[in-house]
Amino acid sequence: MLIDTHCHLDFPEFDQDRDEVLARAKKEGIAYIVNIGSSLEGSIKSVELASKYDEVYAVVGCHPHEADNPGVDTLKSIEDLARKEKVVAIGEIGLDYFKNYSKAENQKPLFTSLLELSLKLDLPVVIHSRQAQADTLKILKDIKPKKAVVHCFSGDQDFLQKVLELGFSVSFTCNITYPKASGLRDLIKNLPLERLMLETDAPFLSPEGLRGRRNEPGSVKLLAQEVAKIKGMDFTQISAITTKNAKEFFNLP
């Protein structure tokens, strides 16, 4: 049994064959899929998917790329969605200074407001942080959520250590299978297993051998196999531990 803790089944890349994608994931042993909202529209769709499919749970929030034009009622709408059945976290939220699709001065207050919402509703948070490590840590220290996971971890050892010191978790994607990802594999070697979760970030970041194609939740199995190889452990051990971590983090049944 495995869990994809971060994917975007609401994206149009899945509109033509979503049922088939879920069937393939089930065949690979993926018991739960956590669908992440990255905008108000995406969050609405995420809740709809969770309502339609038993194995799908929803996370609602606004990606930092949305920070310049979040809309007057976005925060209120996100709060309303977060109260819906099968919504298990706030996210993805955070800071992104890599692509600069929105201004840093707009990203910070959006991030702060959504962290405050997570505390109000007693929900964990899914963090996006790209080339914004210092500001991400400062805000997380100022407004410390109950539980947080830094998704698609791409930071260095120092950032990882500071995230762990805050008591948070990290998740890795199929990009750890890439030949040039030795740095990420080194981080995983010494990472405490109780802080590790697995994700695909589908439709992005397909595993090596499938790059250029759409990623799917079923790839979590390949990811777990790679982590087992890195850790020198049995696949069933990695599956059991990461599934336990995800179920506890998202309060899944």
| pLDDT (0 to 100) of residue 154 | 93
pLDDT value at 131 more than 90 = yes
**Inter-axis angle of helices 220-231 and 182-189, to 10 degrees?**
70
| pLDDT (0 to 100) of residue 58 | 98
Q: Furthest-apart CA pair in the chain: how many Å?
A: 50
- Model confidence at 14, pLDDT cuts 50, 70, 90, reads very high
| pLDDT (0 to 100) of residue 99 | 82
pLDDT value at 18 more than 80 = yes
pLDDT value at 213 more than 90 = yes
Distances (CA, A) of 170 to 116, 126, 199: 21, 9, 10
Instruction: For residue 86, count CB atoms less than 10 angstroms from its CB and return exposed for 0-12, middle for 13-18, buried for 19 or more.
Output: middle
pLDDT value at 250 more than 80 = yes
Q: What is the mean pLDDT of residues 233-243?
A: 98
Three-class DSSP category at 230:
helix
Strands 148-150 and 125-130: parallel
pLDDT per position as a tens digit, 49-85 = 999 999 999 999 999 999 998 777 899 999 999 999 9
pLDDT per position as a tens digit, 171-201 = 999 999 999 999 999 999 999 999 999 999 9
pLDDT value at 150 more than 80 = yes
How far apart CA 219 and CA 199 sit, in angstroms, is 9
Give me the residue label for tokens 């991030």.
Answer: 111
Nearest CA among 7, 101, 92 for reference residue 53: 7
| pLDDT (0 to 100) of residue 100 | 82
As a whole number of Å, the CA-based R_g of the chain is 17
How far apart CA 219 and CA 222 sit, in angstroms, is 5
Range of the domain at 112: 2-250
On whether the CB atoms of residues 220 and 246 are closer than 8 A, the answer is no
Give the percent of the chain with pLDDT over 70.
100
Q: Average the pLDDT over each of 60-74, 118-132, 224-238 and give the range with the smallest value.
A: 60-74
| pLDDT (0 to 100) of residue 69 | 83
How far apart CA 32 and CA 217 sit, in angstroms, is 9
How far apart CA 211 and CA 204 sit, in angstroms, is 9
The CATH number assigned to the domain holding 126 equals: 3.20.20.140
Strands 169-172 and 87-96: unpaired
- Give the N- to C-terminal CA distance of the chain in Å, as an integer: 13
Q: What does the block give as tokens for 177?
A: 């299978």
Tally of structural domains, the chain: 1
To 5 degrees, how large is the angle CA 15–CA 17–CA 85? 65
